[in-house]
Chains A and B, each alone.
Chain A
């Protein structure tokens, strides 16, 4: 594909991989003209987590209205759109298919290119929107409710997977511990808030380093230790020091994430670490990681709070960089629930 990049590239991006229906319009990849996020958190609260069928039903109810809002706020029409970017994985398949079907339909109807986007890559690219001069290479720590990855990003669209969780994602552990403490869903922000009032050294929860030299993570042991602690206290008829549990649990998660990310950057000789994903909003993680990066002369970047959680602007940014490389997806693009980082369909 031959590209005429003299003119502005306007990206229409759609994200529906989990419980947010989001549509964004971007100019030249990094300038966000609109980023509408319709969150379903309220609908899923009573279930204590995201229910796939409920999520899919909300997406189909909202998708076209969110598209309209995004265009309106960006002050553009469909005729101004250069190409469509859409998340096709990883995520909940039924949820993904709503946004993907809409994205393919718009690209086909307007006879413009389609760029399928990996949601996790989107989280990394959120940083390019907030930090206009940021460029690869860097080490990226991606932590969210569904993912915990340590990745070396060599160039746009080029990744080396260095470590990943072997069981629960970090955000998942936050949600499960929050539920056990009766804090409700989503648990991350609640624990972060309470942790500030508690003593992080009150309870000694384990940290899983795994075998020597491994950059993988494991959070299920830590999660079980917290749940056991809560049960034991209950059985003994003792009060649960909720703030101390939150602070001690968060400390374990934050320290292991930080240590591995910093060690990886030092070993690779990379002087920049980028934080991404929903858990990048955690103030404890931001503070501790910043402190350790400073000690090692490593530059740390993380996205603003709205771009940490799921949103379509970050998807549009990936789509833009693929588009200017001349990449595009076919109309038979399917949702891939377990899509691997760096794959292109």
Chain B
């Protein structure tokens, strides 16, 4: 089974091709967010480097979010449309899970933090137990301070990953002290290979998620509209 996996939820564009027992090719760019321009040529180049044509792919895997709304839609529209044209299967993987998979079987907690604008992050916390990922803090949108309070109660070391780490590095380090841990840089950003591996686990366990962006936030217009309606009540 050949899987083409991708993640465009953040500034990182990452595409990977996996076979049953190996990662055949991996292409990551962590420079300027122009997925609209770069994603298709990256896929084209990666497949051609792996001597593959699109129709030889059996499963298309995609990171569903949370993350950049536009980024998610580019990735999802690309994957669902390729799969539709070739009559192949699509498997969706939540971005927070794929990120946590970067630190497979690590000790303590794994806490992916994805930029959600201002002082907010999309986040969750996971614990690895015997090769299985257990959700300790359910995925939600927290301010960084709300997250810090939650994590202090866990009294365990926490490995942070994700694109918001850079932004909140100082405050996390100051507030969490000994608990605060950062893995090597290559584990910090989304990896399509991880998306592909999690997709494989989902297939094995017959887990079919809806192929739709996981926004975790309403659009600003929707929020404003609801506030306006509340005022009128």
Contact residues of A with B, CB < 8 Å?
A: 46-47, 51, 53-54, 56-57, 59-61, 63-64, 67-68, 78, 93-94, 97-106, 108-111, 330-335
B219 at the binding interface (Cβ < 8 Å): yes
B84 at the binding interface (Cβ < 8 Å): yes
A56 touches B81 (CB 8 A): no
Within 8 A of A (CB), among B32-53: 34, 36-41, 43-44, 53
Within 8 A of A (CB), among B72-94: 73-74, 76-82, 84-86
Q: Which residues of B contact A98 (CB under 8 A)?
A: 73, 77
Q: Which residues of B contact A57 (CB under 8 A)?
A: 69, 213, 215, 219
The 11 listed contacts between A and B (C-beta, < 8 Å) are: A53-B219, A60-B76, A60-B213, A64-B84, A93-B70, A97-B70, A97-B77, A98-B73, A104-B40, A331-B40, A331-B41
A101 touching B212 in the complex, CB below 8 Å, given contacts A94-B69, A108-B44, A331-B40? no
Q: Which of B17-25, B141-149, B150-158, B220-228 contacts A (4 or more CB under 8 A)?
A: B220-228
B81 touches A67 (CB 8 A): yes
Task: Please give the number of chain B residues whose Cβ is less than 8 angstroms from any Cβ of chain A in the complex.
Answer: 34
The 3 closest A-B pairs by CB, nearest first: A105-B81, A101-B77, A53-B219
Q: Which residues of B contact A99 (CB under 8 A)?
A: 77
Give the docked Cα–Cα distance between A335 and B70 (Å): 12
B54 at the binding interface (Cβ < 8 Å): yes
Q: Which residues of A contact B74 (CB under 8 A)?
A: 97, 101
Task: Point out the residue from A46, A105, A109, A333 that lies within 8 Å of B55, measured CB to CB.
Answer: A109
Task: Point out the residue from B53, B73, B79 that lies within 8 Å of A56, measured CB to CB.
Answer: B73
- Give A44's nearest chain B residue, CB to CB: B221
A105 touching B40 in the complex, CB below 8 Å, given contacts A60-B76, A68-B84? yes
Give the docked Cα–Cα distance between A331 and B79 (Å): 15
Min CB distance, B206 to chain A, in Å?
A: 22
A101 touches B81 (CB 8 A): yes
Give the docked Cα–Cα distance between A73 and B39 (Å): 31
Give the docked Cα–Cα distance between A47 and B219 (Å): 12
A60 touching B77 in the complex, CB below 8 Å, given contacts A108-B44, A109-B55, A331-B40? yes
Q: Which residues of A contact B213 (CB under 8 A)?
A: 57, 60
A101 touches B36 (CB 8 A): yes
Q: Which residues of A contact B212 (CB under 8 A)?
A: 60-61
Task: Point out the residue from B34, B36, B43 that lies within 8 Å of A100, measured CB to CB.
Answer: B36
- Give B229's nearest chain A residue, CB to CB: A46
Task: Point out the residue from A46, A78, A105 that lies within 8 Å of B78, measured CB to CB.
Answer: A105
A94 touching B73 in the complex, CB below 8 Å, given contacts A47-B225, A109-B55, A332-B40? yes
Give the docked Cα–Cα distance between A33 and B124 (Å): 48
Q: Which residues of A contact B76 (CB under 8 A)?
A: 60
B70 touches A111 (CB 8 A): no
Min CB distance, A111 to chain B, in Å?
A: 7
B54 touches A109 (CB 8 A): yes
Which of A93, A102, A108, A109 gathers the greatest number of chain B CB atoms within 10 Å?
Answer: A109
Within 8 A of A (CB), among B185-233: 212-213, 215, 219-222, 225
A334 touching B36 in the complex, CB below 8 Å, given contacts A60-B212, A61-B212? yes
Q: Which residues of A contact B41 (CB under 8 A)?
A: 330-332
Give the docked Cα–Cα distance between A113 and B115 (Å): 37
Task: Point out the residue from B39, B86, B221 that lies within 8 Å of A53, measured CB to CB.
Answer: B221
Min CB distance, A205 to chain B, in Å?
A: 31
Min CB distance, B212 to chain A, in Å?
A: 7
B77 touches A102 (CB 8 A): yes
Min CB distance, A327 to chain B, in Å?
A: 18
Give the docked Cα–Cα distance between A344 and B122 (Å): 39
